[in-house]
Chains A and B, each alone.
Chain A
Amino acid sequence: MSMRSQIYEWNGLAPSSSTGNFTSANAGRATSIFIGGFGNNITKPAETTATEFVVIEDIACTPTLPATSTAATLSANYRGQLEGFTPGNGLLGPRAFVQVRINTTDYFLDPDNVANDGIPGSASPYPRSLDFQPSFNLYPDVYVLPGQVWDILFTGYNNGSWGATTGADLYAFTKYTLYDGPDALIANKLLEMGISINPGNVDWYKRSLLSAQGM
């Protein structure tokens, strides 16, 4: 099991008293979905060891629908997954973004080369539904090399009442493949060769080695 498909789902509702619920009071601040102190967290920062290689293949978060400036005073909410959100600032939803950070470098930039908030949930929604379908595909994938620290940062800007107190779920999601041991070495070799790192190409490299040995 040296190539493993992995996912991590973050929910703003805290599973225990160890962390707090993520609410609109935390709006405007980039928060790590791994160790940010809100919702479900893990025990230490996400990082690769010397024998690991991670390929991030998808990131997504709760979407938002633009509405009208009077949405905050409206009595009716939107359908589907945004049903629990109380509208604010003309928006239905958290106006959320997710950014990938490798060590100290943010992956997504504005055209003026300034780091931005990342991928909007409206472009890469989680969960996907008829109401919200993806406009964004993380391709090429993002590589986390051995020894690097990586993070997924969630930022929501809508200051309407949302989060745990309203029963509205707030999600972020990442899908990645973890290459470990010999497969991580092969992943490094593929990187040197300019070949995309995916399970198919790692298997192809293994078969090439075996054929070179006459097997």
Chain B
Amino acid sequence: MSMRSQVYEWSNLASSGNSTLRRTTSDVPVTIPKDREIDIFIGGYGNNITKPAETTATQFIVIEDIACSPWLGGSVQIRINTTDYFQNPDVTRQRGIPGLASPYPRGSPSSVAVAGTALDYSVDNLLKSFDLYPDVYVLPGQVFQILYSINTAMNGTTTEVVAAFVKYTLYDGPDALIANKLLELGVTINPNNVDWYKRSLIEQQTRAAMAPANGGA
């Protein structure tokens, strides 16, 4: 199991304080500030993990999809070490992929609010306008962050629940070495190509083993 499809889902739900390490049944929405990029792994809001997301010397990560709630002007950005992936045409910073372009969940309404005592949501079903292709590579030893931000303030009395989502493939051990080799060769890193490289190695070894038996021919 050295190539594994993985996901991480973040939401602004915590049982006490602003963040929590494990989801619980007593989680409630916490207000997140607007116009501030929040690391969905260790940002201090909602469900978090124990340490920054990083690859070890024997790991290679390929990020294949990012998405977030479309309301409140939510956006997601990828940061590798200190470099933001998505930038404006004038090479200045931007907030990343809007939830309207890459909604989570797919098919969700573009807005959710409260009107009197009724849930008020738009009647649309948002589909994705954005596909993260080519994928984003996190090389061995790099730190990566997924940054979520909103540009509309949350309603303090009816705190909106927002979520962000990332889907990636984790290559570990020998498969991470192969991923590095594919990167050197300029070949796209995906499970098919890693398998193709393994088969090539096996074929080469088979031919090498057969050669002496054939008199070196």
- Interface of A toward B, CB cutoff 8 Å: 27-28, 63-71, 73-78, 87, 89-92, 95, 102, 105, 107-112, 114, 116-117, 119-120, 122-123, 125, 129-140, 142-143, 157-159, 193-196
In the assembled complex, which residues on chain B have CB atoms less than 8 Å from the CB atom of A129? 107
Among A102, A114, A129, A157, find the residue whose CB has the most chain B CB atoms closer than 10 A: A157
Contact code string B140-178 (vs A, CB < 8 Å = 1, else 0): 000000000000000101111111010101100000000
CA distance A158 to B195 in the complex (A): 40
User: How far, in Å, is A136 (CB) from chain B's closest CB?
Assistant: 6
Q: Is B41 part of the contact surface with A, judged by Cβ < 8 Å?
A: yes
Rounded to whole Å, the gap between the CB of A177 and the closest CB of chain B is 17
CA distance A176 to B104 in the complex (A): 26
Is B158 a contact partner of A136 (Cβ separation < 8 A)? no
Contact A193–B29 (Cβ < 8 Å): no
Pairs across A and B, CB under 8 Å, 14 listed: A28-B25, A66-B11, A66-B160, A66-B161, A68-B159, A69-B158, A91-B13, A123-B104, A132-B108, A134-B106, A137-B5, A142-B1, A159-B25, A194-B198
How far apart are the CA atoms of A51 and B69 in the complex, in Å?
46
User: Are A194 and B195 in contact, CB atoms less than 8 angstroms apart?
Assistant: yes
Instruction: Report A-chain residues with C-beta under 8 Å of the C-beta of B108.
Output: 65, 131-132
Chain B residue with the shortest CB-CB distance to A158: B25
Check B167–A108 contact: CB distance below 8 A: no
Closest to A27 in B: B25
Give the top 8 A-B pairs by smallest Cβ distance, nearest first: A194-B198, A111-B53, A66-B161, A122-B105, A133-B106, A159-B25, A76-B118, A90-B161
CB-CB contacts below 8 Å: B115-129 with A: 117-119, 121, 125, 127
B199's partner among A76, A102, A122, A195 (CB-CB below 8 A) is A195
Interface size class of B (residues with CB under 8 A): 35 or more
- Give Cα A99 to B29, complex, Å: 24
Chain A residues within an 8 Å CB radius of B37: none
B-side contacts of A67, CB under 8 Å: 112, 119, 121, 160-161
Counting CB contacts under 8 A, is B135 at the interface?
A: no
CA of A195 to CA of B191, assembled, Å: 10
* A135 in contact with B112 given A69-B158, A78-B119, A122-B104 (CB within 8 Å): no
A129 to B105, CA, bound (A): 11
Name 20 extra pairs, CB < 8 A, besides A68-B29, A69-B161: A65-B108, A66-B69, A69-B29, A70-B158, A73-B117, A74-B117, A76-B118, A89-B13, A90-B28, A90-B159, A108-B6, A120-B7, A122-B104, A123-B7, A123-B167, A129-B107, A130-B125, A131-B125, A140-B5, A193-B202
Option from B29, B49, B165, B191 in Cβ contact (under 8 Å) with A123:
B165
In the complex, chain B residues whose CB is within 8 Å of the CB of A193:
198-199, 202
Contacts of A134 in B (CB 8 A): 106
Question: Which chain B residues (63-117) contact chain A, with CB distance < 8 Å?
Answer: 65, 67, 69, 104-108, 112-114, 117
Shortest Cβ distance from A88 into B: residue = B25
Interchain CB contact under 8 A, A77 and B106 = no
CA distance A77 to B11 in the complex (A): 21
B118 touches A75 (CB 8 A): yes
| CA gap between A114 and B49 in the complex, in Å | 8
Q: Is A112 a contact partner of B53 (Cβ separation < 8 A)?
A: yes
Q: Which residues of chain A have C-beta atoms less than 8 A from B170's C-beta?
A: 109
Are B159 and A69 within 8 A (Cβ)? yes
Contacts of A74 in B (CB 8 A): 114, 117-119
State whether B191 touches A135 (Cβ < 8 A): no
Which of B28, B29, B119 counts the most A-chain CB atoms under 10 A from its CB? B119
Q: Is the CB of B104 within 8 A of A111?
A: no
Kindly state whether residue B207 has any CB partner on chain A within 8 Å. no
Question: Considering the complex, which residues of chain B in the window 1-27 have a beta carbon less than 8 Å from any beta carbon of chain A?
Answer: 1, 3-9, 11, 13, 23-27
Task: Tell whether, in the assembled complex, residue B195 and residue A122 are in contact, meaning their CB atoms are under 8 Å apart.
Answer: no
Q: Smallest CB-CB separation from A93: which chain B residue?
A: B105
B192 close to chain A: CB less than 8 A:
yes
**B50 within 8 A of partner (CB):** yes
